[in-house]
Amino acid sequence: MRGARALLGTFFALSFCACGSTPDPWTLPGDAGEPYLLLEPAAVDDLREGIEQLERNKLSAARATFAALLAGRPGDLAAAVWLQEAQITIAERRATRMGLDSLGRDEPRSHLRDLYRRAAENQPTSLAWFLAARIEDDGPAATLLLQRALELDPAMTWAHYGLAHVAARSGNWGLAREELDQAFSLDSGHLPSLRLYAWLQAEGGDLERAALAYESWLLHADEDLLATQSTRERVTLDLALVHLADGDEERAAERLATLVPGRVDEVRRLSCLAAIEEARDRIDAALRAASAARDAGPGALLPIVQEALLLEYWRGDLVAARDAWREVLRLSDESLDLAAGLQRFRAELHLERLERTLAETQP
């Protein structure tokens, strides 16, 4: 049964690799005098109200709130970013109402991309280039725009954070870490960079450092003006998964218990719960959680792999396990994702062994 527990621990897509022993590059609180965050405390309260309006889908009110804040402080990055987010959401909702979904998710953003690019070209500032890069989905183009921001202000922490984000999105983790080092050298308490740093550490398998970074970010999350309540909940789930992958199911359970069902990715939350229950030897509860995760995401591989392993190793129900592995094989065949390919290989190995065992036990 210990083998099943070890296998369940592999589900959370953490790529374990050799990690350096260099000290953490960040400290908190952040450096004073952030030149791109200009709002007074009262205006920050208004910004948070606008963010809540956006999360409650009061889009016109949110856009008006952010526009008014930016008019009062034209160089404020937080107000400019949230105004951009409101504009993107409004454009996408309008496209959906007009039946333009068939043109692709990117289509509603193309007009805004042009607007922000032209604005930066007409009045080039570091902030203008940063905003143009934020809405650019093409990695090389976004990199070029962020480099233009750095040409105007080599000390722009946000541009290095943006470059790290672009690099991480393309899978270039080494470059992402280099850019984060640059960001932290300019502002050791830059919270968006800290959140990205935590994710990179988790992906690199340094679970202890990832947990420390996530916990530090959550402690100071109210100071991150680009974060929302949804962001806090996603980070809390990520932290729970890090604790679970590190073998500390109790700390994982404590974090998971703070989340409201339906407010985060239910497939990930329920799969995490299934693994916690499996680690506690509560197999019925683990199977229920895995089944609920499967219902929450019918095309997701993770829950059905969990179910197959639980049935095979803990329940000894080889027929049900065989059926589950066949479903894993079917779902993985429909995906070109590398992780799906690995699960397909796993399913083939299990099916071969199960078919042989079942054939030998039949009269």
Of all residues in the chain, the percent with pLDDT exceeding 70 is 88
User: Which domain range does residue 143 map to?
Assistant: 117-186
CA angle (129 as vertex; 195, 92 as ends), nearest 5: 75
Is 98 among the domain residues?
yes
**Model confidence pLDDT, tens digit, residues 58-70:** 999 999 999 999 9
> Domain total for the chain?
2
Q: At what angle do helices 107-122 and 77-97 cross, to 10 degrees?
A: 150
**Model confidence pLDDT, tens digit, residues 250-304:** 999 999 999 999 999 999 999 999 999 999 999 999 999 999 999 999 889 999 9
The answer, yes or no, to whether residue 103 has pLDDT greater than 70, is no
Element (H, E) at 266: helix 266-279
Is 93 among the domain residues?
yes
Is 170 among the domain residues?
yes
Same domain flag for 83 and 130: no
| pLDDT for residue 363 | 65
Least confident of 39-53, 96-110, 300-314, 346-360: 96-110
Helices (H), 57-106: 59-72, 77-97
Task: Please tell me the distance from the alpha carbon of residue 10 to that of residue 271, in angstroms, as a whole number.
Answer: 12
The answer, yes or no, to whether residue 45 has pLDDT greater than 80, is yes
Confidence of residue 18 (pLDDT cuts 50, 70, 90): very low
The answer, yes or no, to whether residue 94 has pLDDT greater than 50, is yes
Is 67 among the domain residues?
yes
**Model confidence pLDDT, tens digit, residues 158-196:** 999 999 999 999 999 999 999 999 999 999 999 999 999
Is 340 among the domain residues?
no
Same domain flag for 99 and 60: yes
| pLDDT for residue 88 | 95
**Model confidence pLDDT, tens digit, residues 219-243:** 999 999 999 999 999 999 999 999 9
| pLDDT for residue 99 | 64
Of 49, 71, 105, which residue constitutes the final position of a domain? Answer: 105
Mean per-residue pLDDT, 91-103:
71
Torsional sign, CA 334, 340, 342, 348: negative
The answer, yes or no, to whether residue 8 has pLDDT greater than 50, is no
Q: What is the DSSP letter of 22?
A: P
CATH number of the domain enclosing 131: 1.25.40.10
Least confident of 134-138, 280-284, 305-309, 347-351: 347-351
The answer, yes or no, to whether residue 205 has pLDDT greater than 60, is yes
Mean per-residue pLDDT, 303-314:
93
| pLDDT for residue 295 | 94
Query: 16 is written with which tokens?
Result: 């374990």
Task: Please tell me the distance from the alpha carbon of residue 307 to that of residue 262, in angstroms, as a whole number.
Answer: 21
Same domain flag for 98 and 122: no
What is the 3 state secondary structure string of 294-363? Answer: HHHCCCCHHHHHHHHHHHHHHHCCHHHHHHHHHHHHHHHHCCCCHHHHHHHHHHHHHHHHHHHHHHHHCC
Which residue is associated with the tokens 């004073």? 32
ω into residue 29 within 30 of 0, thus cis? yes
Same domain flag for 101 and 126: no
Is 163 among the domain residues?
yes
Confidence of residue 85 (pLDDT cuts 50, 70, 90): very high
Of 65, 82, 105, which residue constitutes the final position of a domain? Answer: 105
Is 79 among the domain residues?
yes
Mean per-residue pLDDT, 134-141:
95
Is 242 among the domain residues?
no
| CA–centroid distance for 184 within its chain | 21
Determine phi and psi for 172, rounding to 5 degrees.
-90, 80
pTM exceeding 0.75? yes
Same domain flag for 97 and 134: no
Of all residues in the chain, the percent with pLDDT exceeding 90 is 72
Of 186, 203, 232, which residue constitutes the final position of a domain? Answer: 186
Same domain flag for 82 and 142: no
